[in-house]
Chain A
Amino acid sequence: SQQGEEDPQALSIQEGENATMNCSYKTSINNLQWYRQNSGRGLVHLILIRSNEREKHSGRLRVTLDTSKKSSSLLITASRAADTASYFCATDAPSGTYKYIFGTGTRLKVLA
């Protein structure tokens, strides 16, 4: 079963609005990463947040991590049409190996 589950599965917003995506996972982690995937391409790393961190920023991106709720959120502020993509969270497996588990993703569509 998937360690990470994103919510919502799909999101459609107007350019300039904020987009929030959530990720839930099941067991303890060392770190959680967010990736973006444009159609037909490989994934691009966005942010890595460690289990002892609560919030990280990178440009228009803000990631939060709540280990007590086993959840993370990705906020994209002032969205642009170029942000249209699928977004995935990935967690390292709790067993101490580096077997990263990806969720099923949120498909974001930003309308110009």
Chain B
Amino acid sequence: GAGVSQSPSNKVTEKGKDVELRCDPISGHTALYWYRQSLGQGLEFLIYFQGNSAPDKSGLPSDRFSAERTGGSVSTLTIQRTQQEDSAVYLCASSLEMAQPQHFGDGTRLSIL
């Protein structure tokens, strides 16, 4: 079956612009996670969703970052007024339920000029 799909796969934008990253989880998966990975580093947790609800937003780096999930399916991560330090690979994962193995997309590589 289809895995987790992320779009775009690559995004290059100018500092100060807003960007929107999209994640299509595996159908039926109630849990959805967003992570950020800088070059050669581990994953930095950003936010997770149980259904459409995000109980813990403490991982979002600043108030320029926001995320939403609608219909228990697609999620979007929005970064406003992008900064160069936002450059990274943004990974999305979903799992059938919480505390279950996560299935990852291939990420969106974001480059801020």
Q: Which residues of A contact B (CB under 8 A)?
A: 2, 4, 30-31, 33, 35, 40-45, 48, 88, 90, 92, 97-105
Contacts and interface: CB of A to CB of B under 8 A. Distances in A.
A43 B99 contact: no
Contacts of B55: 97
A2 to B, nearest CB: 7
Interface in B23-46: 31, 33, 35, 41-45
Interface of B: 4, 31, 33, 35, 41-45, 48, 50, 55-56, 58-59, 91, 93, 98-107
B4 A103 contact: no
A102 B42 contact: yes
Nearest to B55: A97
Q: Report whether over half of chain B's contact residues are helix, strand or loop; otherwise say mixed.
A: loop
Contacts of A43: 43, 91, 93, 102, 104
A15 B99 CA distance: 34
B33 A100 contact: yes
B102 to A, nearest CB: 6
Of the candidates B42, B55, B93, B104, the one having the most CB atoms from chain A within 10 angstroms of its own CB is B42
